Amino acid sequence: MSGPEKQDDAEDGAKGSTEGSPKKASKGRALVIVESPAKARTINKYLGKDFVVKASMGHIRDLPKGKFGIDIEGGFEPEYTTIRGKGKVIAELKRLAKNARAVYLAPDMDREGEAIAWHLAAALGVDEEKLFRVVFNEVTKKAVLGAFDEPGKLDMDKVEAQQARRVLDRIMGYKLSPLLWKKIAKGLSAGRVQSVAVRLLVEREKEIRAFVSEEYWRVGATLDADGKEFGAELRRIGEKRIDKNLDETMAKAVISSIGEDPLELSELEVKPKTRRPTPPFTTSQLQQKASTMLRFSARKTMMIAQQLYEGIEIPGEGLVGLITYMRTDSTRVSNDALAQVRELIPKHFGPDYLPDKPNAFRTKSKGAQEAHEAIRPTDVSHVPDEIKKALTGDQFKLYNLIWRKFVGSQMMPARFDVTTVSFTHGKEVDGPGDEKGRPTFIAQGEVQLFDGHLRVFTQDSQSADKDDEQKLPTGLAKGQDHVPKGIEATQHFTQPPPRFSEATLVKELEKKGIGRPSTYATIISTIQDRGYVNLEARRFFATELGEIVTDRLVDHFGDLINVNFTSEMESNLDRVEEGKLPWSHVVGDFHQAFIKDLEKAETAMPSLKANPELTERKCEKCGSPMAVLYNKRGKFLGCSNYPECKNTMPVDGPREAPEVIETDYVCPNCKSPMVIRTGRRGKFLACTGFPKCKTTASVDEENKIVVAKPTGIECEKCKSEMIVKQSRRGPFLACSGFPKCRNAKPLPDELREKPRETDETCEKCGAGMVIKTSRWGKEFLACSGYPECKNTRAVAGAEGGQEESPDGDSSAA
C-alpha cells in the first residue's frame, strides 16, 4: 500500500490519545488539511480520534497551463484553475469539510504554505466561522497541540506576497520565452530569478577566459630546533611585504645572498586566540555544508530535510518530527530548545564545555523572518548514533550534521596559542619596487589548548580541522641563530577566480539577495534543466547556449535581469508580506518597465534563426551551405535551404553510417539473410529484404537472438503460445504464430515487472519512491502515490519529472 491509501488507514481509523488535545468546539470531528501524507500521519497521532487528518498532496490550484491567465487590465488579477489530477482530492476534502465541526488548514508556515491554505479555503467554500489556520515550526506534540489551542486566520499579506511572485514569474515567462523561441531556438525559457543566476555564472565564465595568469615566486626555508624541523617563508624585504610580487631574479638573489649564513631569530610573539562557535543552520548554510561535507545537491538536501521535518518512525515512539522547519533565514532558537541543549552539554561533554549563558547570534540575512527559528533538532536528546537504525544512510548523515551544528553552537569557544617567529638575514637584497632591505622569514605555529565546540563540529568555515597545523619547537628564543637546512625558490602563477560550486552559488545568491531560502534549490535545478549550465566535477560551467541567451537578455533587458533589481524585487515582496506595500503596485511597476523593454527587443534583438552563421560545410543532400543553429540541447548544423531541405547534422560533422553486422540468421518469413543494425533503442536483428519484408528480432549484448520467454498463455485464435514482445509503448503479449496470426493484447499484471521499493521519499507528496522500468528498459524513480502524484526522477541523481513550460521560474517550483 502506498501514498494516500496508507494515509487513509492512519487517518480515518485514528484511536490515538486525546490527552492534551485541543478541545472540541461542538459535536463531530474536525478536518485538518496538510500538504503531504507523511506530515498527516505524524500529526494525526497527536490530535487523536476527534480529528480527521488529510493531505492535499501539495498545491491544488494554479495558473492555467497553455494560457496566460492574468488580467493585465483588471489589476493583474490571476485566473486560477484546478491542477490536473487534483479533482478527486478536492471532492474528498469537500465531502469531509461539509460535515466537519471545524476545518483547520495546516500547511507549512512559509508563503507557499499560506498560499496552499488560501487555495484550499477558496476551493472548499467553508464558512469562515469554522475555518482556522494553524502553523507550527516543528512537528512535535507540544508544537502541534499549542498551535491548535490558539488557531488563527489566513495571513492575506503572506498570500499576496506569494501571488505577486507567481504573477511576476508568469508575466516574464510567458512574454519573454516566446521571444527567445523566435530569435534563438524553440523550447528556451527565461525567468525573473533564474536568468540572473545564469548571468552570475556566465560572467564568471567570461572572467576566467579573460584572466591573464602572471608568474610569481616564493622562497621558503627549512629550519630546525631541538631536533624538530619547521618551515618559514619569506614575507618581507625591508619594509616591503612579499605577496605575489617577487620575480625569479629577486628570489634567487635572496638565496644566493644567504648562502650558508645563519638567520637570526629577531622576533617571537605568542598570542592567545579563540574560535567562537557559529550559529545553527539557516537554509542556505545547511545547503552549503551538506554540499561540501556530504556532497549532497541542494535539492537532495531539502528533500531529506523535509523527511526529517515531517516525521520518521522511531522505535518505541512512533512517528517523530526530528528537525524544525527547514526553510528559514533566521538563527533564533527558542528558550525551551536552549534549556534542553544546556542540560545535555555538561552530561555528554563535561561542565567545562557549557558557557555561563546561552550564546546569542545576530541574523545576517536581509529580510530574515524572526518568527521562524534556525534549523535544529526538535529534541536534542535524540542523539544521532542512538537513532541511527531508524534512519536511512542519507537521513542519518544530514540529521547528524544538524544535531552537531546546533549542539556546537551552544558550547564554549576553542582556545589556541598562536606563535609567530621572525628570522632575519643580515645582508640587504633588492626587493619589489626598488625596495632594498634585509629579508625576513616568518614561521607560524598553533597549539590547541581547549577544543570547545570543535569537539562536536569541526568542519566549519572558521573552525576547520587543524591537525595539519604547524607546531613550532618549544626551545625557540629571541637572538638565536639558525642555519637553514635548505632554502628553495618555487615558481607559482596567479589563478583565475574559481567556478561556482553548488555551495558557493547558494552563498552568492544569499549574499546578493537573489531568491529566498525556499527557492535556492529550485533555482539551481532549473538552470541545469534548461541546458544553460552544466555541473562537471562539482563546478558549474556556463554552456554556449547559456552565454548566447544571457548576452541577448542583458543587452535588451539589462535593467531588469541584474542583481540589484532582483534583490530590490525580493525586498519589495518582503514588504508585501509585512503589509507595507500593495502587491499590485509591485507587479505594476515591473510590468511597465518590462513591456517597454519587450517592445524594443521584438525588433532590436538580432535573430540567430533568421540570420544564422553560415559555414563552409555543404549539405550532402542539396549542396547548400550548412548554418549554425541552436536548440535547447545546444548547437547543431542545419541546412540553410530550410524548409525546402530539412537536413541537420552535429557540429563535428555528419553522423557515420550505423555499423551493419552480418549474421548466420535467416529471416523466418522470406528466407533472406538477417543483419544486426543499430536503432534509437539499441541493436536489433533486421531482415535484408527491407522494406518488402519488415521482420525484426531482439538481440542481447553478445549479438545472439533473444528467445521469447514462455508465458504459458494460449492464443485464443490459433492455440499457439503467446509470447512477450517489446514495442515503443512497452512490453505486450503477441502470438508466437506471427505473421499468420496477429493476435496481440496488453501484458497482464502478473507478467509485469514489479516496482522495487527504495528508501527515498517523494519531495512533492511524501509517499515512498519506487524503481520502475521505462518502455526503453531504463530504470527511473517514480512516486508510489501514482496516479494522484506523478512525480518522477532519474535513479542516478539526474533531474527528472520536469515539465517543459515557458513559465519562467515558477514552472519548477
3-class state of residue 117 by DSSP: helix
Residue ranges of the alpha helices (H) in 439-533? 502-511, 520-529
CA 162 to CA 3: how far, in whole Å? 28
- Nearest 5°: the CA angle 390, 392, 396 is 85
> Which helix or strand (DSSP H or E) is residue 253 part of?
helix 248-258
Overall size of the chain counted in residues: 813
Q: Which runs of E-coded beta strand occur in 587-668?
A: 613-618, 625-631, 634-639, 648-649, 661-666
Beta bridge partners of 726: 731
> Which helix or strand (DSSP H or E) is residue 354 part of?
none
- CB neighbours of residue 651 within 10 Å: 14
Residue with cell 629550519: 223
Residues 177/194, Cβ–Cβ less than 8 Å: no
Q: Is-catalytic flag, 325?
A: yes
Grid cell listed for 474: 618549544
3-class state of residue 28 by DSSP: coil
Beta bridge partners of 74: none
Grid cell listed for 416: 589556541
CA 564 to CA 556: how far, in whole Å? 16
Residue 759 has phi, psi (to 5 degrees) of: -85, -5
CA 78 to CA 811: how far, in whole Å? 16
CA 265 to CA 663: how far, in whole Å? 83
Grid cell listed for 532: 544553460
Residue closest to 68 by CA, chosen among 59, 58, 56, 78: 78
Which position among 325, 353, 630, 786 bears the catalytic label?
325
Grid cell listed for 661: 553486422
3-class state of residue 251 by DSSP: helix
CA 450 to CA 352: how far, in whole Å? 10
Residue closest to 164 by CA, chosen among 114, 129, 130: 114
> Which residues are known to be catalytic?
325
